[in-house]
Amino acid sequence: MKITPNFLSFRISAKGMSIQKKKMELVTENIANMSTTKTGDGKPYKRKFLVVKQIEENKNKLSLRKSLNGDAFNALLPVNQNSLLDSDKNIVTEVKEDNSEGELVYMPDHPDANEEGYVQMPNVNVVTEMVDMIAASRSFEANVAAFEASKQIAKNSLEI
């Protein structure tokens, strides 16, 4: 009998922690620049956010079964175990800018004020950023818990 290690759960949890770390870094950058009215291009700072996508190279690698009661995915059925092990490599992250306008604030003495005395502020809302930070922190903690559970399962299986 051939025994092969399967570290898929560790890799998935590690990828999740990595993604949440990137989200926290963007939240930090957004909060740090919430008063930056002029960047290198002469415009106010634009809020950044992370987009996470999964790229499917071959639809035959995984079979996703949708349930009829509205659940997003009811089951994940691997067609080929090797392709499932590489599935976390198909996750791509991309940093995008929020192109919505920030508010205009009347500050006639500000160096970036227009002729009417208004300054275009960045589109960063501290409440939104704090909510994103808490969500990323909780998701990171969930991935740590999943990693620890996988570690305990692996340890217990070695004791059998």
Closest CA to 114 of 47, 46, 43: 43
DSSP 100: P
CB atoms near residue 117 (< 10 Å): 13
Instruction: Find out whether 94 and 57 touch, Cβ atoms under 8 Å.
Output: no
* CA distance linking residue 129 with residue 126, whole number of Å: 5
Residue 157 belongs to what H/E stretch? helix 126-158
Mean pLDDT of 10-22: 93
CB atoms near residue 130 (< 10 Å): 12
CA distance to 70, 122, 131, 132, per residue, from 144 (Å):
29, 34, 20, 18
Is the pLDDT score of 154 beyond 60? yes
* CA distance linking residue 89 with residue 85, whole number of Å: 9
pLDDT category at 6 given cuts 50, 70, 90 is: confident
- pLDDT (tens digit per residue) in 19-35: 999 999 999 999 999 99
> What's residue 90's pLDDT?
80
Domain range list for the chain: 8-34+48-97+124-158, 35-41+100-123
For residue 115, give both structure tokens.
């002729």
> What's residue 87's pLDDT?
56
The counts of H helices and E strands in the chain are 3, 6
For residue 139, give both structure tokens.
């998701």
Secondary structure of residue 113 in the 3-state scheme? coil
* CA distance linking residue 50 with residue 112, whole number of Å: 29
> What's residue 72's pLDDT?
46
Mean pLDDT of 108-120: 92
Mean pLDDT of 8-17: 91
* CA distance linking residue 95 with residue 123, whole number of Å: 16
- pLDDT (tens digit per residue) in 42-92: 899 999 999 998 887 655 544 444 444 444 444 444 444 455 545 567 888
